Amino acid sequence: MKIGLEIHVQLPTKTKMFCSCPAVGAAGPNEHICPGCMGMPGTRPALNRAAVDIGIKLARLLNCSIPDVMWFNRKIYFYPDLCRHYQITQYETPVGLKGEYYLGKKRIGITRAHLEEDPGSMERSGDGSLVDYNRSGMPLVEIVTDPDISSPAEAREFLTFLLKDIRHVIDLPSDGERSIRVDCNISVGTERCEVKNVTGLKNVERALTYEAVRQTKILRSGGRIVRETRHYDEERKVTTAARKKEYEGDYAYIGEPNLGSINVRRIADRIETKESPLSMAMRLQKEFGLEEKAAKQIVNTSVKLAELFEHFARKTGKENALKWISGPISSNWRSLEKDADTKKDGLTDIVVRFMNGEINDVECSMLLKAYITGEDLRSMEKNNADLDALIRKAIAGNPSVVDDYRGNEKAGNSIIGTVMKETRGAYPSSDIVETTKKILDEMIR
Ligand SMILES: [Zn+2]
């Protein structure tokens, strides 16, 4: 099965792509419109530089090459929501070309990423159609992937991570999942179908799954897949045929003379881009010799946690940084996240005391937790002592566990289970697991 996606990301600019109409939702239809985005004769487009900047940032995020000079094209077709009868888009010189994205070890090629304007939208009403041009001229980046995705679940996973990364680089609204629209190309055999305009990641997975099953059934019964564009019906959760698929040759492209050529290299040189989480994970591996899994785990928890790791690694060395970041700091990350910047030096000081031998493992762990959560150290100590006693009691009630544990670490699970049952959520399960292991390790020593 081969899946390729065309992802339309709506860019968070103040104004539309080629005019000064606001690029935010309007109260009613046809409110944010002007002769420019209505395509009236005599108007000329003026390029929104903010959209170009964002395009460059996204191209970099996707490891695309950026051309020295780019221009826009008119994609000519007739449809009522496109009142100019052409859409201004990019054809020969997309802002990003031939990139790649890694989903774990899986490489997904990026064919291109180009800037374009959205057309208006249509709504069926009674026996006619209503057109709303509020959306006409909204700035988009369309990201086109190679057909490298091998399942509907992988498509959803890819989009989840991609969205997270995009949100790290640009200010996508928090309901960003709905502000992207995806055209899904899928082929089970040799011919592909395209499911147009799917919004929401869950729907992408559902539409693709439906298509995969539909195509497989046709092929199994000796039928032939017809190349066509389909729609996804969110209510009925099915795809339906819309029209025969257009080929690129069905569209006419000509250069857009009103915008001229843009020296995008010069603009790109001036734009600083935040490091993407993916390249950050790769850099941590290289710079600090982290295992790939550890680096990704830290970065995927939060880029801020990874920054804290770097701070720790510089002050206390990689081993200590890894031990404490992936231990007590990760497990209390939710409490720490918003104060991470102000508390980082205090946390480092505690670990330095551990390195100097002033406090032991357990004390360091407790001090870190107390500092992060603001919990009282004495009640924490009492809690820990109580838990300690409970676990020892459980072991005393089932002493053969100690010998079994010597041969197989899993033998400790029965004690963990007993204590969890008895304490009914009074202690975090990670504390019970850690303390049980610690005590059993001591006993077999
Ligand atoms: Zn306008």
Residue 176: its pLDDT value, please?
59
In Å, how far are 31, 86, 144, 321, 382 from 39, measured between CA atoms?
Answer: 15, 9, 27, 58, 73
Residue ranges of the alpha helices (H) in 170-302? Answer: 201-220, 264-270, 277-288, 292-301
How many angstroms separate the alpha carbon of residue 127 from the centre of ligand 1? 29
Residue 133: its pLDDT value, please?
93
Written as six digits, the tokens of 193 are 């179908």
User: What whole-number distance in Å separates Cα of residue 61 and Cα of residue 268?
Assistant: 13
How many angstroms separate the alpha carbon of residue 86 from the centre of ligand 1? 16
Phi first, then psi: what are they for 118, rounded to 5°? -80, 145
How many angstroms separate the alpha carbon of residue 33 from the centre of ligand 1? 4
Nearest to 78 by CA among 39, 48, 108, 127: 39
Residue 339: its pLDDT value, please?
85
First to last CA, the chain: 54
User: What whole-number distance in Å separates Cα of residue 61 and Cα of residue 66?
Assistant: 11
Q: How many Cβ atoms sit within 10 Å of the Cβ of residue 204?
A: 27
Identify residue 113 by its one-letter amino acid code. Answer: A
User: What whole-number distance in Å separates Cα of residue 170 and Cα of residue 189?
Assistant: 38
How many angstroms separate the alpha carbon of residue 67 from the centre of ligand 1? 28
For ligand 1, an ion, list residues with CB under 5 A.
19, 21, 34, 36-37
Residue 243: its pLDDT value, please?
67
Nearest to 7 by CA among 192, 191, 190, 156: 156
Nearest to 88 by CA among 39, 145, 122: 39
How many angstroms separate the alpha carbon of residue 178 from the centre of ligand 1? 23
Residue 172 neighbours by CB under 8 Å, 6+ apart: 9, 12, 163, 166, 179
How many angstroms separate the alpha carbon of residue 78 from the centre of ligand 1? 20
Phi first, then psi: what are they for 319, rounded to 5°? -60, -50
Q: Which residues of 2-25 are buried (b: 16+ CB within 10 A; e: fewer)?
A: ebbbbbbbbbbbebbbbbebebee
How many angstroms separate the alpha carbon of residue 418 from the centre of ligand 1? 67
Q: What burial class does residue 403 get, using C-beta atoms within 10 Å of its C-beta: 0-12 exposed, 13-18 middle, 19+ buried?
A: exposed
pTM reported for the whole predicted model: 0.71
From first to last of its 445 residues, the chain has per-residue pLDDT tens of 999 999 999 999 999 999 999 998 888 999 999 999 988 989 999 999 999 999 999 999 998 999 999 999 999 988 888 888 899 999 999 999 999 988 877 889 999 999 999 999 988 888 888 999 999 999 999 999 999 999 999 999 999 889 888 888 888 766 656 678 999 999 998 889 999 989 989 999 999 999 999 999 999 999 998 888 899 988 888 998 886 655 666 778 999 999 999 999 999 989 887 777 778 888 898 889 988 888 888 887 888 899 999 999 988 888 889 889 888 888 888 888 888 888 989 999 999 999 999 988 888 888 898 898 888 777 877 888 888 899 999 999 988 999 899 888 888 999 999 998 888 877 878 788 888 988 998 888 8
User: What whole-number distance in Å separates Cα of residue 216 and Cα of residue 79?
Assistant: 33
Task: Give the pairing type, strands 128-132 and 96-103.
Answer: unpaired
Nearest to 413 by CA among 405, 423, 424, 425: 405
How many angstroms separate the alpha carbon of residue 123 from the centre of ligand 1? 20
How many angstroms separate the alpha carbon of residue 16 from the centre of ligand 1? 7
How many angstroms separate the alpha carbon of residue 20 from the centre of ligand 1? 6
Long-range contacts of 413-421 (CB under 8 A, 24+ apart): 415/391, 415/440, 418/394, 419/387, 419/390, 419/391, 419/394
Written as six digits, the tokens of 421 are 């049952």
| Contact in structure between 225 and 218 (CB atoms under 8 Å) | yes
Written as six digits, the tokens of 307 are 């920054």
Q: Where are the domains of the chain?
A: 2-270, 277-444
How many angstroms separate the alpha carbon of residue 273 from the centre of ligand 1? 29
